[in-house]
Structure formats: structure tokens, C-alpha cells
Structure 1
């Protein structure tokens, strides 16, 4: 773990410990309110689903946590709980809701808990001390509602920055694209979380705790729709991966070649700052980059197309693009497959990545310990015309970057170290 990650986790642990100590010293206030919000947050954590390795999605838990942080009254009666109690209740409920996930082996990451503690603590510190001093007593109607929405939006923005920073520290991917991806997420489920948090805080202030199950129902339905959409996307990707394996089953390419190229291409794309739909297109194109070989009468030896004449490479690429178009996959994927053999300067970025990574994987196949370095040197020598220099250098950075826990370079049977292009668990995560 890097020093910045330790710093963030240490800050979150320090905040949690301080809030727990203050709450124990002063006692729990409005126990019924704390219990109701704690149950809501725990249920939200129970319904959490994995968005990607190292990332968890718990919109109901997040909305309940932020709502409790900005709660000013219960059925017209002002509350007296402070920011310390908010953090204590939220963390306790989050840990209780995580017990079944821990039991089944899906342990919540420290990043997830650190973000929750720091974001909720920020929102509570901005609101609770001022509310308890009566600063907002004269705020009513639209002004008070706008105040809650503004604080929720600011908290969500801080959480996005923190999430991007943690991902940057852990993966070494560029911070800017990671932040853009997090901000883009705020337009979807993030906006629903903020809206639900504001509505629940306002509803409880007027109608009491009965407002919690009523106003959390729309978010539950939204979460169900998002999960179904994610399941459809996962099925779609599995279908594409199955199509890509057709070349392996037919004996045109070695087993696992398409998966290795896709995994390494995604890592290079991340390093270059690609996000969202660009990564999806890149992954699908990398998985299907060799599908044109199915149209060949005589298979290419070992499926190695990087050393074929340019015209033959273009013919196979065009055949592959035609096959991809017939499958109904996004036309952008077919374009990348078709243009992976074009002159380097005329290729889109995704095609440049697939071409360089495919060549690297083919050149390291069956080589000894010096194979990866020799393959990189050959790619660097080919940057005058065949490969883009920035792609080759990005590939070199990806191959030399230290991985987080569980992301070390794998070994083959009998402890033999596998090629650097072999995928590590968690690389193919997009789409």
C-alpha cells in the first residue's frame, strides 16, 4: 500500500475513533432516530453489489448516511445529535451490514469505508454544529431545501474527488480521467442518491421516521433497474467473449490469447486516460481482433499475424470487421477491428493499442525470461512506422508498474513465472 493510501485510511480511522470516543463520552441522543437510520444504512449495505474490483455500489446506504448527517428535526422536534454521533452510527451500521458479505468472502474494501466515513463526516460537520446553534432556525421552505441540496451536492463532489484519488493511488492510472469518470457517475445513480438523501431528511423533519420507508422505495427500484442493466451488460460481454473464443476452439489462435490481449489493452487504455465507452469499445475490439482468421482456408501458424505482410494483415482485419458487423456489436468495435492493420498514423487510438498489444503478446509467446524485454525492444524499433511510440511506452509502463494486493504477475504451472502479458485477476473489469 502506498503512503497516500495509508494517509487517507489513517485519517478515516482517526476520525472514526475520535467520533466513537466522543459519542461514548456524551451518550447516544435520540436513540430511536439513530436506530431507524442505522437499520436503513445496514439494509443499504446488505443490498450492495460489486461495481468493479475495489469498488462497491450501495446507493441506499449512501443516501441514508447523508440524510442522517443533514437531519435537523424529527416530526417538527429539533434533534440534538452531533456530527460525532452521525459518523459513529453510520460506521457501525455499515460494518453490521457488511457481515454477510464478509461471511461469503466479499469483504468490503478499506477504500469504501474510508470514503463513507470522510464524506459523511464532512457533511455532518458542515451542517450539525450550525443547526444545533440555531443558525438555520430562520431558514424555511425553499431556502432550507436548497441548503440541503447544496450540501449534498458538495459532499457528493468531495466523495468523487476522494474516490478518484484513492483509485489513482492504488492503480497509478491518471487522476484526470478517473475524476471525469466519477463525476460522470454523479449524473446517474449519484444524482438519485443526493435527491433521496435530501427528500428523506425533509420528510423525516415533517412526518417523522415513517417517511424513511416511503421515500427510500424509489431509490430501491432505481437500484434494481441499475443492477438489471449491469446484468444485461455482463451477459453481453460474456457473449462477445464466447464469440472471441471461436478462433481458439477452431485452432486458429492459442488458448487465452484474446483474453490476454483484452486485459493488457484495457490496462494500456487506462494508463492513456481512456474512460467509459472508449474502454468498452477497446475491450470488445481486443477480444474480437482475431476473428477474421475464421475466414482463412489455411490457418496462420500459431495465429501470429504480427509478422505477416501488411496486405495480408489488412485482409484479415477487413474480414474480421465484416464478421463483427454481422454479430450486431457496436459499429465502433468493427471499425477498430478493421483498422488495426492500417498505417499507424491513420489508426484510431484503440486500434493502435490493440495492434501493439497483440504484437507484444505474440512475440512473448513461448519465450524465456528475456522474451518480454526483447519484445518491447522490437516494438520500440518498430515505432518508425508500425507502432505508435506513445502506445509502446504506455505498454512498458503498465508492464513495470507494481500491482496492488492480488495483482502481481501470475505464475504458470509448477511455479514458473508466466509471460508479462498474462492477465491478472481484476484486469478485465469494464463493460
Structure 2
């Protein structure tokens, strides 16, 4: 179907309103599916005619792509948020291009899926299934791209980063994909009106998603504020908790911890030293690795008691309590969470390499790891230490030769 000026205008208005509403929503991320669903529906069912007069030609999807770009820019200009448009343009543009290309690839009979949508007779179910497959791939494409980029920046395993992206954004993207299919099929019967009607379910869904994000953001801010208490009181090294979290999360991801549980690993890492506020005398340099096993357990127990009094953080109490437990005791118990063992290793490594310790210079990572390895498996989980070595190698803190030597 050729994209008429009426359909184009309705599509543009719907996407502009969706983008303006998206930019006013709060939360750490605002990947609303409203514009994405409309853009994919237009890309899968309409096209501007090209010089050859064939709307199904690949160049025919320039129209939906231009509408999408225009909607994002108009909303950004109105809200004065031009700096934030690059990511959204990339996300929507990727979905439009993937959907537009896939529906324009000739099938076994020579017809494209775009042509089949407008000449469907008895194969409506098959066409709907194929459109759904196209929409899912188009909605997933920007998530894959973002996950690969994040993996390259953090030098973590790609599959683990991708699973995290799909865990966070997959349900909303899937809702956008299914709605795009329904809108695309409805265009044959209702015309441009379908672009408005089928956005209602997503408008109902999106406030609930944003409300959940606001709650998570408030919880995260609370955790960071609590994590800074030992540092503000001069009981721990500045940035220790944050550095431990930056190490613990990639280690947990590489060890197969589910993406939904990584937030608890990060929170436990940030809060593992909060028990130091109950000490009568501060630990020199805040390095608990130099303390006796009894003192380590006391700090962890105090931190667990503090978290146990907070409803939102009580679930982390047992994890923090077990950070002070030596590995051989954890093996004896048999029920110590992997998060506790990971945080214990990450904290010890940062204690040994952080500012204010006797290990310094380029050899500090190697010396710290050698000390950790000498204490495994009595004090530290050897598997966690092994993954830590590979993580530091990916970050460039260790050379390949050093990592191989330590892994023997």
C-alpha cells in the first residue's frame, strides 16, 4: 500500500505525542514502545512510491523512516532535549530498517510479505505469524546492539550482557512488537484510525512500568546513601563500596547469576561494610581483609542486623552476614549464597589494591591475587578467584601471561 498523506499525518501525530509523553516520564530509562510500535506498523504495511513506481521496493521504506525521525526531532525540540535524541533515533531507526527490509524480501513464490498483507485471502493466520516474527526481530535488534556495546565497554561476556538487556526491556519490547502487528493488519480494514486505537493498551501499560522504575530508582538511591556511611565516617576507603560492586556484578554475571538477581549482588557489595559503623575503633585504612576471622564475622553480623531492620533491604541481611564467613565454613554449612562468596573475594581484592594499603604500583593486582590464591580454598572460593582473574584480564589490569600464570 502506498503511504498516503493522510496516513502519514496521523502516524506522525501519534508518534510525536508518544515521544512527548515518553520524555515527560521519569525513571532511569525511558524506552517506551509507543513510537516503536507505530513506526514498525508503518514500515511493515506502507511505503512511499519510488521512481520505479513500486511501493514494495526497499527505497519505499524511506517514508516511515523519515516520519520516525521527524517525530523524534519535533518532540525533542518541543521539550528542549535534543541531546538525548541520538539514542532514541538509533533505537527506532534500527527497528524500522529491520522490519522494512524483512517484509520486502521476496518469498518462495516471488511475493514479499508486504504485498501479501494487502492481498491476503485464506492465509491471514500465516501472514500474522510471519509479521509477528518480523516485529519481534525488529524490536530485539536495538536491544542486541545496545547489549553488544555495553559488553564491549565493560569487557564482559556478551551473552550475559544481552540476557540482562532482554530481562529489563524484553517484556516492554515484546508488547510493542505484538501491538505493531495488530496495528499493521488493522490498517487494511480501519485505515489510519488503527494507529490511534491500538495504542491504548500500551498507554495503560506504560504508567505502571514507569511507576516500577521510579520505585527501583528510589531504592537504588537509598542503597547508595547507606553505602557511603562508613566512608563519610572515615571508617572505609573512599570509593571502596562502589569499586567492590563494579567487580562483583561482572563476576556474578560470568558465573551464571540470573540478570534479575544481579541487582541484589550489587546492593550486597555496596552495603557489605556498613557494619563498620558499629565498631568502637576504626579499622586501619578500612581494610577488613587484615582483621581476624572473628572481627570480620562481627562486622558482617552488625551490618546484617542493620539491614534486617529495614523492610526493603531485609532480604540482603543473610547475604551480608555471610560475607564475613571464610570459605571452608561456607562449605561446611552448604547454604551460603554465591553472592556472599563473590562479595567477599571482591572486597578482599580491593582492600589489598586500594589506596592506603601497602601494595602499590603496577604489580599490585598480581600481588593481591597471589595472596588471595594462597588463602584458597580456606578463606576464599577458588572458582570466584579464578573468574576474578579473567575479569581483570579483560579489563586490562592483567596481561595474558600474568593471567595464565595465576590460573595454573
1:108 shift after superposition: 2.5
Of 294, 298, 310, which aligns to 2:293? 310
What is the aligned partner in structure 1 of residue 239 from structure 2?
A: 256
Secondary structure of the corresponding residue to residue 57 of structure 1: coil
What is the aligned partner in structure 1 of residue 372 from structure 2?
A: 379
1:290 shift after superposition: 0.8
**CA separation in 2, counterparts of 1:145 and 1:321?**
53
**CA separation in 2, counterparts of 1:283 and 1:336?**
11
Of 190, 195, 207, which aligns to 1:207? 190
**CA separation in 2, counterparts of 1:237 and 1:63?**
30
Distance 1:93 1:359, change over 3 A: farther
Of 333, 336, 342, which aligns to 1:353? 342
* 1:245 aligned onto 2:228: yes
Between Structure 1 and Structure 2, how many residues are aligned? 370
Of 215, 219, 227, which aligns to 1:232? 215
**CA separation in 1, counterparts of 2:44 and 2:128?**
11
Comparing 290-299 with 164-173, greater Cα deviation is found at 164-173
**CA separation in 1, counterparts of 2:344 and 2:195?**
54
TM-score, reference length from structure 1: 0.73
1:114 shift after superposition: 6.6
What is the aligned partner in structure 2 of residue 20 from structure 1?
A: none
**CA separation in 2, counterparts of 1:254 and 1:171?**
24
Distance 1:136 1:391, change over 3 A: farther
What is the aligned partner in structure 2 of residue 61 from structure 1?
A: 35
1:134 shift after superposition: 7.8
Task: Report the aligned-residue RMSD.
Answer: 3.6
Distance 1:397 1:38, change over 3 A: farther
For residues 361-400 of structure 1, the aligned pairs below 5 Å read 361-366=350-355, 368-370=360-362, 371-400=364-393
**CA separation in 1, counterparts of 2:287 and 2:195?**
60
1:213 shift after superposition: 1.9
Secondary structure of the corresponding residue to residue 340 of structure 1: helix
What is the aligned partner in structure 1 of residue 98 from structure 2?
A: 119
**CA separation in 2, counterparts of 1:230 and 1:134?**
37
Comparing 315-324 with 127-136, greater Cα deviation is found at 127-136
What is the aligned partner in structure 2 of residue 193 from structure 1?
A: 176
1:149 shift after superposition: 3.5
Give CA-to-partner distance per residue, 1:39-59, whole Å, 9 cap, x none. Answer: 44455455267987xx87241
**CA separation in 2, counterparts of 1:385 and 1:86?**
66
What is the aligned partner in structure 2 of residue 7 from structure 1?
A: none
Contact 1:60 1:193 in 2 (8 A): yes
What is the aligned partner in structure 2 of residue 289 from structure 1?
A: 272
What is the aligned partner in structure 1 of residue 55 from structure 2?
A: 81
Contact 1:111 1:166 in 2 (8 A): no
What is the aligned partner in structure 2 of residue 105 from structure 1?
A: 83
**CA separation in 2, counterparts of 1:299 and 1:342?**
20
**CA separation in 1, counterparts of 2:247 and 2:387?**
11
1:303 shift after superposition: 1.9
**CA separation in 2, counterparts of 1:350 and 1:269?**
7
**CA separation in 2, counterparts of 1:135 and 1:204?**
9
1:80 shift after superposition: 7.0
Secondary structure of the corresponding residue to residue 375 of structure 2: helix
What is the aligned partner in structure 2 of residue 428 from structure 1?
A: none
Return 5+ residue gaps in structure 1 as ranges: 1-27, 74-78, 409-431
Distance 1:387 1:292, change over 3 A: same
Contact 2:147 2:158 in 1 (8 A): yes
* 1:36 aligned onto 2:10: yes
1:230 shift after superposition: 0.6
Contact 1:380 1:392 in 2 (8 A): yes
TM-score, reference length from structure 2: 0.77
**CA separation in 2, counterparts of 1:189 and 1:57?**
8
1:202 shift after superposition: 2.9
Contact 1:174 1:272 in 2 (8 A): no
Give CA-to-partner distance per residue, 1:246-278, whole Å, 9 cap, x none. Answer: 222333223332222222222333343434232
Of 58, 70, 88, which aligns to 1:96? 70
Give CA-to-partner distance per residue, 1:224-244, whole Å, 9 cap, x none. Answer: 221221111001110121122
